[in-house]
Structures are given as C-alpha cells and as structure tokens.
Amino acid sequence: MQELKNRIIAEGKNLGGGILKVDSLINHQVDPELMDLCGVELARHFAATGVTRILTAEISGIAPALMTAKHLRVPVVYARKTRPITMPNTVYLTVAPSHTKGNMVELIVSPEYLQANEKVLIIDDFLASGATILGLVRLAQAAGAEICGIGALIEKTFEGGREVLAYLNVPIIALVQITSLDDGMIEFSK
C-alpha cells in the first residue's frame, strides 16, 4: 500500500536490531486517516472470508484492527496484557515475547468475547517473527474459534513470521513488506 509505504519512508526510523520506529503514525500517535485507508485495504482482502470477529493484541494492534472492523462491520476483541478486575476468573491466557519490550507478555481474553462459533481474523501492526500472532492464534484455538486470516500493516520478511504461520493455511496479508533493516536502511519489497 503506497500511502503507508510513503509515510514509513518519511517518518519511520530504523533503530537497529530489527526495530522500526513508526511511533508517529501507528504505535504512539495514531493517524486516523492513514489507519482508515489501511482498514479499507485489509477489509477488501478479507471480505470474502466470512469473518465474524477481529482479534488483536493490546495496544498497537487496536488502531488497524478497529478500522478494519469498521469496514467489515464486525466487532474487535483485543487481548489484554494485564487482567482487569472486571474480567471473569476463567480466561483464555497465553504468553508471547515482546520484541520491543524484550520480555514475555501475557495475552488475556475473556471467554465472553471469543467463542467457538466465531470466524476470527487476526490483525496486528507488525508481522515479524510471528510470535505475537501465534499467541493470538492460541487464544482463538482455546476458544474453539476458526482462524480465517491474518493481516498486518507491516511485515518484516527477514524475521520469518509468514513461514511460521503457514501451517494455518489461511490468507496472510501485509500492506507493506520490509525485506531488510540492515545498515540503518529501510528496504522494501519490490
């Protein structure tokens, strides 16, 4: 998606170690117009999958998931990283490594909002190693839901996440693919 690619070129920063800072448009400050365009594009790709619910991770996945859900007219559930007192005692819980935090984080979903009859589309900001998305897959599978697709704004192809998720045999769509962050550069797939 050219609009997203242009913004990454203009505002993205390669921090080294495989970290791409896109805080000005996705991860800290959110550009709602850009997210809406991304939501339209992701919704277009997944419209025929029969999705009934979108699942994402707190916090950076919420903006693209919400805008995709708006255009698919389905609800969004986001996996919390801490359990609020309002959540029931019995929950779906898994752990996943956080690339930017450098530790393991919990992903928690209430069974009230993720059920066996759902067709779940997973949306996140990044597809990198696939670890966070695999955590979301485990949550959906624990609920007995069916995964119908995976979407991401940005894929770092050099981290191999797409290959890790291939066993799911579902469509995997990334709006922008980055092939390298070596030598301070940001290289996109052609």
Statement: residue 53 has pLDDT above 80 = yes
List the structure tokens of 85: 């007192």
63-99 pLDDT per residue, tens: 999 999 999 999 999 999 877 788 888 899 989 887 6
Q: Is 114 within 8 Å of 53 (Cβ atoms)?
A: yes
Q: Span 97-111, mean pLDDT?
A: 82
Helix ranges (DSSP H) in 80-166 = 131-143, 161-165
Closest CA to 145 of 120, 166, 121, 124: 120
Statement: residue 2 has pLDDT above 90 = yes
Confidence tier at 183 by pLDDT (50, 70, 90): very high
End-to-end CA distance of the chain: 12
Greatest extent of the chain over all pairs of C-alpha atoms, in Å: 48
List the structure tokens of 153: 């704004």
Q: Span 141-164, mean pLDDT?
A: 97
Statement: residue 149 has pLDDT above 70 = yes
DSSP 34-66: HHHHHHHHHHHHHGGGT--EEEEETTTTHHHHH
Is omega for the bond preceding 173 within 30 degrees of 0, making it cis?
A: no
Architecture of domain 2-188: 3-Layer(aba) Sandwich (3.40)
- Whole-structure pTM value: 0.95
40-52 pLDDT per residue, tens: 999 999 999 999 9
Helix (H) or strand (E) holding 151: strand 146-156
